[in-house]
Structure 1
Amino acid sequence: MGPETAILLDVTSAVENPGMAAPQRVATLNRPNMVSVGTIVFLSQELMFFAGLFAMYFVSKANSGGEWPPHPTHLNVPWAALITVILVSSSFTAQWGVFAAERGDVFALRRWYALSALLGTVFLAGQAWEYIELVGHGTTIGGSVYGSVFFITTGFHAAHVLAGVLAFVVVLLRTFKSKFTPAQATAAVVVSYYWHFVDVVWIGLWITIYFIQ
């Protein structure tokens, strides 16, 4: 389990503490609380890490002095577009889950968050299939500079997607353990912040890796 997974699970645990659940009604979750602010600060730190990965990619590309990506690498652009659509769709389902949480509809929250977790899992499976295809054609993490930056940047992002899927599962499980509370609704909102961040970062990676060649 990576550090981002542990932090997300800690956040979803923290919002279960009644002392941290300032709102008394689910419908009053419009005012930011300390958990939400802390999540935004955490995401800002993660953004800096990804900025470093983007910088590494562009520096490597500038210093390559030749074809980019180099032979024998052949990126499956249509496949990448398909899994991108799947991941972006999960942002919409996650947001609909937030709307359900804000109105106290735990059954709709479960449906939307379960679907979001499923879409995230499908995305990861699609990315794993692409990895297998690239390795089969000779592109490995240690075989070239391009292979290194490709697998590091996309792999780091995949770890964040996995953390988000696990966070969805934690939120879902807790809705079955006790009566739905404002604290649980806040946890759902916090997880959605993280998930939207992961989706936006992937769009940037997708454009950078598959179109700026």
Structure 2
Amino acid sequence: MAPVATASAATGPAGPAPRTIPGHGPVTRPNMASVGTIVWLASELMFFAGLFAMYFTIRSVNPDLWANHTAKLAVPYATGNTLILVISSVWCQWGVFKAEQGQVARTGPVWDFMRWGMREWYVLTYIFGAIFVSGQIKEYADMIHEGITISSDGYGSVFYLTTGFHALHVTGGLIAFLLIIGRSFTSRRYTHAQATGAVVTSYYWHFVDVVWIGLYSVIYLLQ
């Protein structure tokens, strides 16, 4: 009698069953932390869209303020500060690559950056982000010296509100980097959850980078 064909445990009526990672479910299922972060960033995008709308509305009502105040902006200084933030996103992405590979720390001397791990790249990202925030604080001091404050007029209000809220978001990202870096020291084993935390933090950092490019273009270039 011919042998009866039996279905393999790895197959089913619809074809091969989805591969799974022990303890993490099917690999085809989206990461809930990543999805949640993207949804939250979408709501943050709406928040900044409101700030942009406020900026253009007040500018259309009081164009003379922009004609008088934009000449006081230090465009070359802001351009350099913008480049610092953009470069920090490059370092952040290198950290993501290392996190996805499971390499938490460097495997060679500190000057051999090709053997750096997630921790070193994220420390460098943190330094560049802190320099950017410090640069904004210095610019605020210069603007106040020029007589432009948050209560001086409509231009001062929208300038400090738009850039100030962005600076708060950057500061929040710096705190997140400290948490990720700190966890890499306190844990004996680099886990899937820690790698996910590093990745979603990079989503946030790239988001504040893109938002700043928009703010920089509107405030400093489209004067």
Q: What is the CA–CA distance in structure 2 between the aligned matches of 1:29 and 1:208, rounded to whole Å? A: 42
Greater Cα offset, 173-182 or 154-163? 173-182
* 1:73 Cα deviation after fit: 6.0
Greater Cα offset, 193-202 or 173-182? 173-182
2:126 corresponds, among 117, 134, 152, to 117
Q: What is the CA–CA distance in structure 2 between the aligned matches of 1:42 and 1:58, rounded to whole Å? A: 25
* 1:158 Cα deviation after fit: 0.2
Q: Choose between structure 1 and 2 for higher RCO, CA contacts under 8 A separated by at least 6 residues.
A: 1
- Note if contact 2:92-2:121 (Cα within 8 Å) is conserved in structure 1: yes
- Give the structure with the higher percent helix: 1
* 1:145 Cα deviation after fit: 0.3
- Give the % identical residues: 54
1:200 corresponds, among 189, 193, 210, to 210
2:74 partner letter = N
Q: What is the CA–CA distance in structure 2 between the aligned matches of 1:32 and 1:70, rounded to whole Å? A: 51
Q: What is the CA–CA distance in structure 2 between the aligned matches of 1:100 and 1:29, rounded to whole Å? A: 20
**Which consecutive residues of structure 1, in runs of 5 or more, have no partner in the other structure?**
1-21
CA RMSD of aligned residues (A): 2.1
Q: Quote the residue 1:88 is aligned against.
A: 86
* 1:24 Cα deviation after fit: 5.1
TM-score between the two structures when normalised by the length of structure 2: 0.81
Match status 1:130 vs 2:139: yes
Runs of 4+ in structure 1 over 2 Å off: 22-25, 28-32, 69-73
- Pairwise mapping of residues 1-213 of structure 1 onto structure 2 (< 5 A)? 32-71=30-69, 74-107=72-105, 108-178=117-187, 179-213=189-223
Q: What is the CA–CA distance in structure 1 between the aligned matches of 2:73 and 2:221, rounded to whole Å? A: 10
**CA 30–151 in structure 1, closer or farther in 2 if over 3 Å, else same:** farther
* 1:66 Cα deviation after fit: 1.8
Count of residues in correspondence between the two structures: 191
**Which consecutive residues of structure 2, in runs of 5 or more, have no partner in the other structure?**
1-19, 106-116
- Note if contact 1:72-1:137 (Cα within 8 Å) is conserved in structure 2: no
Q: What is the CA–CA distance in structure 1 between the aligned matches of 2:21 and 2:199, rounded to whole Å? A: 13
